[in-house]
Chains A and B, each alone.
Chain A
Amino acid sequence: MTKDETRNIVDSLHPLEVRLLLAFEAGKAIDDSLLISRASVEQAQKDMAIGWLLAKAIVEVTGETVERIVALTEIGERYRDQKTPELRIYQAIKDNPGVNMSGIREREDLDSTEISAAIGALKDKGIVRIAQGGRLEITDESPLSEFEDIQILISAVATLGEVNLSELSQGEQVIIEGLHRKRGKAKGVFRINEKVSRTYTLADLGAKVHAEVLQRGKPVDEISQLTPEMLKDGSWEGKPFRKYNITLPPPRVTPGRRHPYKEFLDSVKDKLVAMGFEEMRGGLVENEFWNMDALYMPQFHPARDIHDVYYVKGPKSAREIEEPFLANVSKAHYSGGDTGSRGWQYRFDVDKAKRLMLRSQGTAVSARTLANNPKVPGKYFSIARCFRYEQIDATHAQDFFQIEGIVLGEEINFRTLLGLLELFALEVAKAKEIEFLPAYFPFTEPSVELHVRHPKLGWMELGGAGIFRPEVTIPLGVHVPVIAWGLGLDRMAMVALDIHDIRDLFSANLDMIRTKRTHWL
């Protein structure tokens, strides 16, 4: 501990700490009550400041004693003013010879249990007896001094407020022990509180701090909180500001903040917009037509089953499907229509196409965009909430975001498809090593899977893409090639957020949401 460090500590002491330290003498112990009286502080102030000094290892506890402190209870205070029932009853019998129990009750403001207890006590000591007809008679006055001693003790304790039990005489201690409120007993004259009294000495560090404090002498009037009044009347001038210990932890605040996963989605959104993609939106509820048929998924496709998607309970069907798309798409399924395809060659069921469902893939949004006069050339994306009929577990949530989009243009072909994916790999996953794998999607041909070497995850699938089949684009009125792409980014988000259960992306745990730190950039 250098001199400077000691000074820094002293500089940051609270005025109460300084007052306590000034009450210490080097090398000597001091106890709580002495500390309070020497430093002339309140008990609570002493408690607070000694706590700080102990925490900073400036003082240490050298001893601990338990004191039993005696005070009056409410009953005790009443007896102090009105005397004990025994003395009052004795006096009443003396003043009204021949009085009986009910006579006492009429005269004295005491409840009947008190009266009978007191008469019982007087009788036991042989001071009073109950004669014929319930009349009370004084038989012997001499044992009464015992009750007078109690009365004196009550007055003494009342005067002192609190008395250390050990400071009283043996006889007094016996009286108090006999009359204090015991656990479970409602009434008692004295209350005994146990109080821990500690003794302290200066610790090693404290000795240096103490010397410095002594050297500086009594603290002058330091400014703690600067107030508007001080600024107004200039009273701050010439006074020192108490130095704070700025190394102490501050109170906790909870700032307003984006959701960490939303922050990630925002960054993806920003990147896509920067790459020239325009946002498209769609509804949470779709019909099978836009979710599947328009994407050339045949109506008997294995993924079009009650075990794959969620259907809507009621109404079950869309009123209508927009023309000419219904006619075009059903023809494409049946015979290829004018798409150059032989089609799936089955009878298209319009009722099935109308069936309402919860959107199961973001491509549904793309299909609607294609049918709605898209720009050519054009680039679109959506971050769409989708629903699948799946057992919910650590890798499946009941709903999730799909990041999907399309690119329309005369220049679109297999190589520009690969070029776009390369761009995604670099921009979204910062991956320079990539691999393209053959893939299958019902609505694209050729189809490709994009694998990248992620800096943390190693080789992973980043997305899937392909060129929409003519059976998709032509019936929707689009006559240029169209890339359909989708990115699977949840795994990247989970790694960045250090979570292992996909359900935690939508966690309800506020503490987790508030404390997650992100590093997307």
Chain B
Amino acid sequence: MPTISIKKKDLESLIGSSFSPQDIEQHLQLVKGELKGYDLKSDELKVELSDSNRPDLWCCEGIARQIRGKLRGEWGDYPFFGSNNSKKSGQIIVSADMREIRPYVGGFTATGMNVDDEMLVQMIQTQEKISEIFGSKRRRISIGIYDLSRIRFPVHYKTVPPEAISFTPLGFEEKMNLREIIKDHPKGQVYGEILKGMERYPILVDSRGDVLSFPPIINSREVGEVQAGDSALFVEVTGLDIRLVLLALNILAVNLHDRGARIGAVEAVYPYDTGFGRAISIPCEFTKPLNLSLRDVERVMGERLSMDAVSGLLGDYGYRVKKQGESLEVTPPPYRDDMMHPIDVCEDIAISRGYNSFKPVMPSQMTVGGLSDIELFADLIRGHMIGSGFQEIISNILTSKEDILYKMGLGEEKAIEVDNIMSISYSVLRHWIIPSLMRVEAASTESFYPHKTFETGEVAVYDEAGNLSSRTLMKCAALISHPAANFSEAHAILEALMYYLQIECRLVPGDHRSLIDGRMGWVYAGDEVVGLIGEMHPRVLTGWDIHMPCSAFEIELDKLLRIYKVATS
């Protein structure tokens, strides 16, 4: 989740007190934040925020707000909420064809402040974190900020053909049409995917026809370049989900308000329903109150809390609380929309009081522990192999076809492969274990001989009929390497293992391209193949750059366990 950079001084001035970095670390618990670093010279704090449902906390203003509320009981007065009837600073008129393209938009104005360098940096950081992470890389929401003085309301949110309109995008000198922006502008190349397949593109223009931006790609350079020294802004958000659009606007509005701006409402007028009516005055308090009973709280927390305690703790955390008998009606602040269930409120009660103020209680209900049959069986075999003088190995399961097929002398085989490959070295799940032991062998030619290694572990095999087209199996492989390593030595180990497992096995000569012809056998239990054994082919050894004879076997534990259960029942 996001890591943000903020200035300690900025945070302190927004809270209204100063702190040591240790204090800040402590207070960050209130916002599920972790202090990743503090640079004394630049006064920069690096904070990682873990709650992906609280974008209001991904900025200096939000962190300061939560800490200030808890420490000083001061919750900002945000008069612009619930003022649906007051004077509007402007209007956005949505055209009907937006419904299928990018249906929602909203905006507000901020005036009466002075945008300084630090504020600008913070504003851009917030805009970026919210649209990238919360907005799924601008797909679900994207944000535009403009110099208000250059805009004449009403603003129109409509679609146009890709070549119908040209404007100068941020970062460029000349005018481009929308198709050219998608193709040639760096932002178009990154975010153009969002509009793929569309015949008409969204555009925001003002009443004079000046382009504000081409959402969600890029702002116009003339109107949409905010600079230090600006004193009036227009902020808009477009997106696929009305709640996210409203939430993002509310967060941006309270942030600017906390820095001294006057927020002016802008009305978005739709020709279709939004779930919040056809005309929405924004910022807008859109979340509904939740009902919470003291019994719910007690059940979750494991402790009886009084009405006053709960109401006080929630008040300190930014909620509005109304007491109703044994229940509370709680309204989260308008810049939060993460309350899906009353359980979410319970966590805030605990955070507000401090997790460490709760006394841990040991769960006392009796349960019987134990391992799965396959794990017990694998442990049995591990014990035997170790007793036979073998060194246990654990290897990565995600490996390469080179290792599990080609270097083993095998051709193409159906394996569980990765679609979005990061590196060819980690692109397929192993389906057998001998290659893992060969990898160890190849890396250990300097190690004292003899080498006797084994691994019990999981592999994945292709399974055409299975629901997931694959099965996870447990296998065990053993490898012997020294100047006189041969079939007989491996056979003796396998034979002894099978004796103790009480499994009747026989070897049937066969062909396997990893192993020397005439010195290879399939291990049969009844009429089922449960493994293989043989001397590694010199061509395979050479391919791995191993200069020592090796013999090996590999057995399937799932099959053997089934037979073992019958044999020992």
Chain A residues close to B by CB (< 8 Å): 252, 254-259, 261-262, 269, 272-287, 300-302, 306, 310-316, 318-320, 336, 339-346, 356, 358, 375, 377-379, 385, 387, 389-392, 397-399, 407, 409-416, 418-423, 435-440, 442, 445-448, 467, 469-471, 505-506, 508-511, 513-514
Chain B positions 340-386 with a Cβ under 8 Å from a chain A Cβ = 340-344, 346-347, 350-351, 355-356, 358-372, 374-375, 382, 385-386
CB-based contact B343/A469 at 8 Å: yes
Q: Is the Cβ of A470 less than 8 Å from the Cβ of B341?
A: yes
**Total B residues in contact with A, Cβ cutoff 8 Å:** 91
List the B side residues contacting A274 at CB < 8 Å: 369
What's the minimum C-beta distance from B506 to chain A, rounded to whole angstroms? 26
19 A-B contacts, Cβ less than 8 Å apart?
A257-B386, A259-B391, A259-B392, A262-B392, A273-B371, A275-B369, A286-B468, A340-B341, A342-B340, A391-B422, A392-B426, A399-B398, A416-B360, A416-B363, A438-B30, A439-B50, A471-B340, A508-B395, A511-B447
Asked if residues A283 and B470 are in contact (CB atoms below 8 Å), the reply is: yes
Partner among B347, B355, B419, B451 whose Cβ is within 8 Å of the Cβ of A313: B419
A505 to B394, CA, bound (A): 8
Closest to A277 in B: B369
Whether B458 lies near A385 (C-beta < 8 A) is yes
- Selecting from B86-94, B104-112, B230-238, B300-308, the interface stretch reads B300-308
Q: Are the CB atoms of B301 and A346 closer together than 8 Å?
A: no
Whether B398 lies near A358 (C-beta < 8 A) is: yes
Chain A residues near B200: list those with CB within 8 A.
none
**CB–CB B422/A389 < 8 A:** yes
- Determine whether the beta carbon of A438 is less than 8 Å from that of B347: yes
A447: nearest residue on chain B (CB-CB)?
B347
Q: What's the least CB distance linking B183 to chain A, in Å?
A: 23
Decide yes or no whether B277 CB sits under 8 A from chain A: no
What residue of chain B has the Cβ atom nearest to residue A422's Cβ?
B360
In the bound complex, residues from chain A placing their C-beta under 8 Å from that of B460 are: 283-285
Closest CB in chain A relative to B247 CB, distance in Å: 12
Judged by a CB distance under 8 angstroms, whether B13 is at the interface is: no
Separation in Å of the B25 CB from the closest CB of chain A? 10
B325 at interface by CB-CB < 8 Å:
no
B397 x A407 contact (CB < 8 A): no
The answer to whether A418 and B241 touch (CB under 8 A), given A313-B417, A436-B355, is no
A302 and B364 contacting across the interface, CB-CB below 8 Å? no
Choose one: A281, A315, A419; the contact of B372 (CB below 8 Å).
Answer: A281
Determine if B530 is an interface residue (Cβ-Cβ < 8 Å): no
A379: chain B residues within 8 A (beta carbon):
367, 369
Whether, in the assembled complex, B160 has its beta carbon less than 8 Å from a beta carbon of chain A, the answer is no
Interface membership of B136, Cβ < 8 A: yes
Q: Which of B300, B416, B442 contacts A312 (CB 8 A)?
A: B416
The verdict on B7 contacting chain A, using a C-beta distance below 8 Å, is no
User: Which one of A398, A420, A447 contacts B426 once the chains associate, using CB atoms below 8 Å?
Assistant: A398
Contact with B472, one of A280, A283, A420 (Cβ below 8 angstroms): A283
Task: Name A414's contact: one of B358, B420, B429 (CB within 8 Å).
Answer: B358
Establish whether residues B394 and A261, one from each chain, have CB atoms under 8 Å apart when the complex forms.
yes
B355 and A469 contacting across the interface, CB-CB below 8 Å: no
A256 touches B458 (CB 8 A): no
Query: A311 contacts which of B351, B363, B375, B420 (Cβ < 8 Å)?
Result: B420
Contact present for B372 and A280 (CB under 8 Å): yes
Q: In the complex, what distance in Å separates the CA atom of A281 from the CA atom of B441? A: 30
- Are B341's CB and A276's CB within 8 A? no
Q: A281-B375, A423-B362, A436-B356 are in contact. List 5 more A-B contacts (CB 8 A).
A: A258-B386, A312-B419, A439-B32, A445-B347, A446-B351
Assess the B394–A506 pair: CB atoms within 8 A.
yes
* CB–CB B350/A414 < 8 A: yes
B452 within 8 A of A: yes
Q: Are B417 and A314 in contact (CB under 8 A)?
A: yes
Closest beta carbon of chain B to A466's beta carbon, Å: 9
B393: Cβ under 8 A from any A Cβ: yes
Provide the residues of chain B in CB contact with A346, threshold 8 Å.
Answer: 241
The CA of A311 and the CA of B361, in the complex, are separated in Å by 41
A510 with B368: CB separation less than 8 A: no
Expressed in whole angstroms, the Cα–Cα distance for A329 and B471 within the complex equals: 25
Whole-angstrom distance from the CB of B474 to the nearest CB of chain A? 9
Asked if B568 is an interface residue, CB under 8 A from chain A, the answer is no
- Nearest CB in chain A: distance from B230 CB, A: 31
Query: A437 contacts which chain B residues (CB < 8 A)?
Result: 29, 355
Within the complex, which residue of B241, B303, B395, B398 is in contact with A387, where a contact is CB–CB below 8 Å? B398
Query: Is the beta-carbon distance between A311 and B419 smaller than 8 angstroms?
Result: yes
User: In whole Å, how far is A48's beta carbon from the nearest beta carbon of chain B?
Assistant: 24
CB neighbours (8 Å) of B300 from chain A are 413-414, 446, 467
> Which residue in chain A gives the minimum CB-CB distance to B345?
A445
Known A-B contacts A278-B370, A440-B1; A312 and B418 likewise in contact (beta carbons under 8 Å): yes
Residues in A with CB closer than 8 Å to B260 are none
Please give, as numbers and ranges, the residues of chain B lying within 8 Å of A510 by CB-CB distance.
Answer: 391, 440-441, 443-444, 447, 451, 453
A392–B369 CA distance with the chains assembled, in angstroms: 36
Shortest distance in angstroms between A39's beta carbon and chain B's nearest beta carbon?
36
Sorted from nearest, which 4 A-B pairs have the closest CB atoms?
A413-B302, A510-B444, A415-B302, A418-B360
User: B340 to chain A: which residues have CB within 8 Å?
Assistant: 336, 341-344, 471
